[in-house]
Amino acid sequence: MKRVFTAALVCTAYASGAFALSPCETNGYTTQLTSSSSPTLAVAITGKQINANSLGGENWKEIHCDSTTGHAGQLQKVGVSPTDPVDPQTQVGNWSISDDTVNYNYGTGGNYYWRVYTNGTNLCWQEDSDTGGIIATGTVGAAIDCVP
């Protein structure tokens, strides 16, 4: 009787989606980055240039500033240079990590919470839920210094 109950429970959980893959996992991004994963979410993005493309075609080139630059937690747009009159590198918001979620705060542009997955090379940002949709996929580039 105990085996039948256990098997029924597992089948019910599977059918209900409890073991379903997230949208990022379904698309080949098999490892969710968290505060305790290896590599950790912080190691994967801190101080790095992210080049992400949304499914709608929008492109974000942003730097997750770290404490070595004196700008910990700042999110800066990658530009031509800090002094370029047309496309300057500048702060566009702040970022922080809480366990398995990265929070992007764009001030009046709002707060966004994403889970981040990797396929070993690239990243996938998904809405902060097990069934949340994919927001963007992209690459991690070399560290770029943040500007004041």
How far is residue 125's CA from residue 53's CA, in Å, rounded to a whole number? 10
3-state secondary structure of 92: strand
User: Smallest Cα–Cα separation from 142: which of 50, 60, 40?
Assistant: 50
Q: Contact, 82 vs 88, CB < 8 A? A: yes
What pLDDT shows up at residue 10?
Answer: 37
Q: Which of 102, 104, 105, 106 is nearest to 115 (CA)?
A: 102
Could you tell me which of 128, 114, 147, 106 has the C-alpha nearest to residue 44?
Answer: 114
Domain boundaries, the chain: 21-143
Distance CA 25, CA 109 (A): 28
pLDDT along the chain (148 residues), means of 10: 41 48 93 90 91 90 84 89 88 92 90 94 91 91 84
Return phi, psi of residue 15, to 5°.
-65, -30
Closest CA to 113 of 124, 104, 100: 104
pTM score: 0.80
CA 113/CA 111 separation, integer angstroms: 7
pLDDT at 18: 54
